[in-house]
Amino acid sequence: MLDAEPVVCRPVIPYTRRAPIVRVLEISSELTITVSWNDATGGNYGAQIWRIRKAHHPGVCALTNETIDVGDFVYRPLFGDIPPLNADAMISAEAIRIMREAENREPEPAL
């Protein structure tokens, strides 16, 4: 599990008035991540599973505020019959790749 600090970002969904607090709790595999999403108006999801896919519409990464273009690889919330309020949110796969690499780096030996 990652020991992630919360990331506060600008609103990524039209209905929100305030930015959500987003934490990547775990990078489960190349395909899935576990996200904590807290938004005063858009819902709170303590351990939401997100899956990688290609973006079907442009957007903004919920972690980095970087632009997401159609066709970019992104993580989006998984859901069944009823979509969560943050169903349109996206996290860039590149942002997760960078987090994974930082987590896997071995610490430098102390001098």
Can you give the residue range of the structural domain that contains 100?
21-104
Binned at pLDDT 50, 70 and 90, residue 105 comes out as confident
Using CA atoms, how far residue 22 sits from 57, 85, 108, 109, in Å, is 21, 14, 29, 32
Q: Is the pTM of this model over 0.85?
A: no
Binned at pLDDT 50, 70 and 90, residue 16 comes out as very low
In a domain, 11, yes or no: no
Mean pLDDT of the chain: 85
Residue that wins the pLDDT comparison between 111 and 25? 25
Total of domains in the chain: 1
Residue that wins the pLDDT comparison between 105 and 108? 105
In a domain, 16, yes or no: no
Given a cut of 70, whether residue 2 has pLDDT beyond it is no
**Which residues lie closer than 8 Å to 58 by C-beta, 6 or more apart?**
67, 68, 69, 70
In a domain, 72, yes or no: yes
In a domain, 92, yes or no: yes
In a domain, 14, yes or no: no
Residue written as tokens 């349109």? 88
By C-alpha distance, which of 63, 28, 66, 30 is closest to 48? 28
Gap between the Cα atoms of 56 and 35, Å rounded: 21
Task: Report whether 77 contacts 48 (CB < 8 A).
Answer: yes
pLDDT tens by residue, 31-53: 999 999 998 877 899 999 999 99
Task: Report whether 35 contacts 6 (CB < 8 A).
Answer: no
